[in-house]
């Protein structure tokens, strides 16, 4: 079966294991059914911006053309560093977009993908799945994105805010008692968090002391002993037996492919 369309990041559903779907324009390909099968992805050479549809020779910010990368709020630096959000200064690239995406409650969480990390999101458990977390725990809900970033900055002085994607793709990490680690971290950061609370108000920072950790199982039959990254810019035709899916990666017997990285690329998918 052949399908031609433009890639966007895989959609997922929290089940046991996670169910994955590969978007190719309007077509959603159920990927779990292909595990153990030989699949082929052929880049046609066409790349179109996922925002405006303009044809581009190079993709920026996971699927955007250069003008959109420079002008759209979802491509601004504060998306990567939420503590630098400048909405309150009146300089947001699109205030309506900021109202919908940034001035909304966000969660601060702990996750175990390649070891413990702290992160922020308003889309859980999707964010956890995208990062390949094997277990995760929401520890706080705050009133808006910038505040979540400020909390994250405090906590990341004690734990990482990054995932080692190569380590994540080599197997499941050692289990961590995230509830116990949460309590330790919040105690270690108590004074700095209290300063934030005094500035933004108690209602803006709600601890989630009753939340329980979520365990996530991925559809993987075999992890690679050596992680080899595949790239459409270097190898337009990528194929192999699909051994599993984790995070936004297809794990093939020929290497691993980060689907989200190639958003906007037109692909011919074949099984």
> pLDDT by residue (tens digit) across 140-154?
999 999 999 999 999
Q: Could you tell me if residue 135 is left (phi over 0), alpha (psi between -120 and 50 degrees) or otherwise beta? A: beta
Contacts of 127 (CB under 8 A, 6+ apart): 109, 119, 121
Contacts of 116 (CB under 8 A, 6+ apart): 110, 159, 160, 176, 178, 181
Q: Read off the pTM.
A: 0.94
Give the pLDDT confidence score for residue 1 in this predicted structure.
79
Give the pLDDT confidence score for residue 169 in this predicted structure.
97
Query: If we measure between CA atoms, which residue out of 230, 219, 227 comes closest to residue 257?
Result: 230
Residues of 45-74 as b/e, b for ≥16 C-beta within 10 angstroms?
eebbbbbeeeebeebbbbbbbeebbeebbe
Give the pLDDT confidence score for residue 166 in this predicted structure.
96
Q: State which residues of the chain have pLDDT below 50.
A: none
Distance between CA atoms of 17 and 38, rounded to whole angstroms? Answer: 20
Indicate the domain borders of the chain.
2-69+219-270, 73-214
């Amino acid at each position: 079966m052949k399908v031609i369309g433009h890639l966007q990041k895989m959609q997922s559903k929290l089940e046991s294991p996670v169910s994955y779907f590969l978007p190719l324009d309007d077509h959603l390909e159920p990927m779990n059914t292909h595990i153990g099968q030989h699949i082929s992805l052929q880049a046609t050479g066409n790349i179109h911006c996922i925002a405006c549809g303009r044809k581009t020779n190079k993709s920026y910010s996971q699927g955007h053309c250069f003008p959109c990368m420079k002008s759209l709020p979802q491509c601004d630096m504060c998306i990567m560093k939420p503590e630098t959000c400048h909405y309150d200064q009146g300089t947001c690239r699109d205030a309506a977009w900021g109202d919908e995406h940034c001035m909304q409650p966000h969660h601060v969480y702990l996750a175990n993908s390649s070891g413990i990390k702290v992160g922020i999101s308003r889309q859980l458990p999707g964010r956890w799945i995208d990062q390949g977390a094997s277990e995760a725990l929401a520890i706080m809900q705050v009133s808006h994105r910038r505040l979540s970033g400020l909390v994250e900055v405090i906590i990341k002085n004690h734990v990482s805010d990054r995932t080692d994607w190569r380590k994540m793709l080599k197997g499941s990490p050692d289990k961590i008692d995230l509830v116990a680690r949460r309590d330790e971290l919040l105690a270690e950061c108590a004074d700095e968090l209290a300063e934030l609370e005094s500035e933004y108000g108690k209602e803006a920072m709600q601890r989630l002391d009753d939340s329980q950790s979520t365990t996530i199982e991925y559809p993987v039959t075999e992890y690679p002993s050596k992680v080899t990254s595949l790239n459409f810019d270097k190898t337009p035709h990528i194929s192999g037996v699909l051994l599993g899916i984790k995070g936004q990666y297809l794990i093939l017997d020929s290497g691993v492919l980060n689907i989200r990285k190639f958003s906007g690329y037109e692909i011919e998918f074949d099984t």
